[in-house]
């Protein structure tokens, strides 16, 4: 007997696909429109659940459209990545050690770029 979960994609992958569809649209989308844009055979209810979870995380916002909602991203892709980095940093009790290890693992080019940003105080 085959486990029904074997064919499922990880939630993070589905969230990333939904976010990509929202960014590409450039306008608020209903779950049905996101589903059509994904073209992946996902049920509309699955897409609606993903959008609700993204809304609860503060990653997307929504506006009333008819009897439902249309969703749009709160940040662009780099902003969302920066937010995730902050979330991970906040989870650890030794913030200094995490930052030190992060910087130690940067490529030389990334390290130079980070130095320029800090020197110029561009945030």
Neighbouring C-beta atoms of residue 82, cutoff 10 Å: 12
Residue 2 has pLDDT above 70, yes or no: no
| C-beta separation of 31 from 51 below 8 A | yes
What pLDDT band is residue 83 in, cutting at 50, 70 and 90? confident
- What is the rounded radius of gyration, in angstroms, for the C-alpha atoms of the chain? 19
The answer to pTM > 0.85 is no
Which class for 100: exposed (0-12), middle (13-18), buried (19 or more C-beta within 10 A)?
Answer: exposed
**Three-state secondary structure call for residue 88:** helix
Strand partners, 69: 64
Per-residue pLDDT averaged across 31-55, rounded? Answer: 91
């Amino acid at each position: 007997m085959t486990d029904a979960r074997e064919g499922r994609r990880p939630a993070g992958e589905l969230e990333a696909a939904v976010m990509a569809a929202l960014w590409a649209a450039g306008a608020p989308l209903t779950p049905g429109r996101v589903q059509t844009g994904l073209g992946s055979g996902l049920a509309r209810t699955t897409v609606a659940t993903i959008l609700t979870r993204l809304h609860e995380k503060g990653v997307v916002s929504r506006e009333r459209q008819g009897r439902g909602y249309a969703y749009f991203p709160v940040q662009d892709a780099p902003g969302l990545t920066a937010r995730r980095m902050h979330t991970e940093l906040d989870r650890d009790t030794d913030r200094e050690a995490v930052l030190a290890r992060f910087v130690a693992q940067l490529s030389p080019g990334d390290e130079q770029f980070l130095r320029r940003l800090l020197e110029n105080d561009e945030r």
